Amino acid sequence: MVLGKYKTVVSARSTDKEILEKSQDGGIVTQLFVFALENGYIDGAIVTGIGDRPWKPRPYIATTKEEILAARGTKYNISPNISWIKEATRSFGLDKVGIVGTPCQMQAIRKGQLYPIGLREVPDKIALAIGIFCMENFPYKSIQQLVEDHAGQKMQAVKKMEIGKGKFWVYTERGNVVSLPLKITHKYEQPGCHVCLDYVANLGDISTGSVGSPDGWSTVFIRTKKGEEIWNRAIAAGCFETTPIDQVKPGLELVTKLANEKITKNKKYIEERASYGVNKGLRNPYI
């Protein structure tokens, strides 16, 4: 169960070249939101753009294709997307809200739907929750230090950051590519991530990440009935190319291995904390 419940899992990428051009992986998140918006499944989506400093995440509500596209790409910091849910329904008047987030944010959404304290009238308005895989996250200062001090690049010159193949990669607009071994990045991780037991966003309607699929493609878990309906309609509309997951390398085996590694390592940390009386009750009820 380290991969959570799902109906289908495939390797996929968007068929829209404009989406693919600046997307992090296969453009799954952007393509799904655009399709959902254009076909009435959502009337806006809470996405993560860039704020007042280079690569500092800023959540906002996208109600057009252009605004959804403007959020393409991964920002390796916490983006408080959940804090915009009320704003989306009240100030923007959305009745069908799309939202993207990390596994912990998917948990917060589902918890908010079950116990809507402070989220009154909101639970039924979450129309599509897309989870992204997440091994760890970083405070903004840490990303700055990694990019500027370790990789020797200016934040404003960075085109893309990526974690993959055992390294943290920085790509600049001028074509520089710098990679750092993960043993350098570990100490910069956000400490809260070390008690996290979900790698593949078990609670999204659909969840996606690069791991398991070839470069430029994404691994996609379709988890809920709602997710399945939107996914099947998007496939029928020609939005995605897909390949069965058992026909791609490294495939589900690597996703399972990494999920197991995250959970085992963090469980050990939780137990260690429990031994001195902290967070005894922490657990993931889904595994």
Classify 149 as helix, strand or coil: helix
Spatial contact of 42 and 127, defined as CB atoms under 8 Å apart: yes
**Using the rule CB under 6 A, is 102 a contact of ligand SF4?**
yes
Instruction: Draw the binding track, 18-47, toward ligand FAD (x: CB under 6 A; -: no contact).
Output: -----xxxxxxxx----------------x
What does the alpha-carbon distance between residue 113 and residue 123 come to, in Å, rounded to a whole number? Answer: 4
Residues 6+ apart with CB under 8 A from 57: 48, 49, 50, 51, 75, 77, 78, 79
Least Cβ distance, residue 218 to ligand FAD (angstroms): 5
Q: Which is nearer to ligand SF4, 196 or 211 (CB)?
A: 196
**Using the rule CB under 6 A, is 211 a contact of ligand SF4?**
no
Least Cβ distance, residue 277 to ligand FAD (angstroms): 29
Instruction: Draw the binding track, 59-98, toward ligand FAD (x: CB under 6 A; -: no contact).
Output: ------------xxxxxxx-x-x-----------------
Which window, 5-13, 97-105, 145-153, 233-241, contacts ligand SF4 (CB under 6 A)? 97-105
**What is the four-CA torsion angle of 232, 233, 236, 241, rounded to 10 degrees?**
-60
Instruction: Draw the binding track, 99-138, toward ligand FAD (x: CB under 6 A; -: no contact).
Output: -xxx-----------------------------xxxx-x-
DSSP line for 203-262: TSSEEEESTTS-TT-EEEEE-SHHHHHHHHHHHHTT-EEEEEGGGSSSTHHHHHHHHHHH
Spatial contact of 2 and 263, defined as CB atoms under 8 Å apart: yes
Selected binder of ligand SF4 within 12, 37, 104, 200 (CB under 6 A) = 104
- Among ligand SF4, ligand FAD, none, what binds residue 104 when CB lies within 5 to 8 Å by partner kind? ligand SF4
Spatial contact of 26 and 42, defined as CB atoms under 8 Å apart: no
Cis peptide before 139 (omega within 30 of 0): no
What does the alpha-carbon distance between residue 121 and residue 243 come to, in Å, rounded to a whole number? Answer: 39
**Using the rule CB under 6 A, is 263 a contact of ligand SF4?**
no
How many residues comprise the chain? 287
**Using the rule CB under 6 A, is 137 a contact of ligand SF4?**
yes
- Among ligand SF4, ligand FAD, none, what binds residue 227 when CB lies within 5 to 8 Å by partner kind? none
Q: Which of residues 214-233 bind ligand FAD (CB under 6 A)?
A: 218
Number of residues that bind ligand FAD (CB under 6 A): 34
**Using the rule CB under 6 A, is 48 a contact of ligand SF4?**
no
What does the alpha-carbon distance between residue 261 and residue 233 come to, in Å, rounded to a whole number? Answer: 35
Q: Which of residues 245-264 bind ligand FAD (CB under 6 A)?
A: none
Q: Which residues pair with 220 in a beta bridge?
A: 10, 208
Residues 6+ apart with CB under 8 A from 156: 54
Summarize as ranges the residues that interact with ligand FAD (CB under 6 A): 23-30, 47-48, 57, 71-77, 79, 81, 100-102, 132-135, 137, 163, 208-211, 218
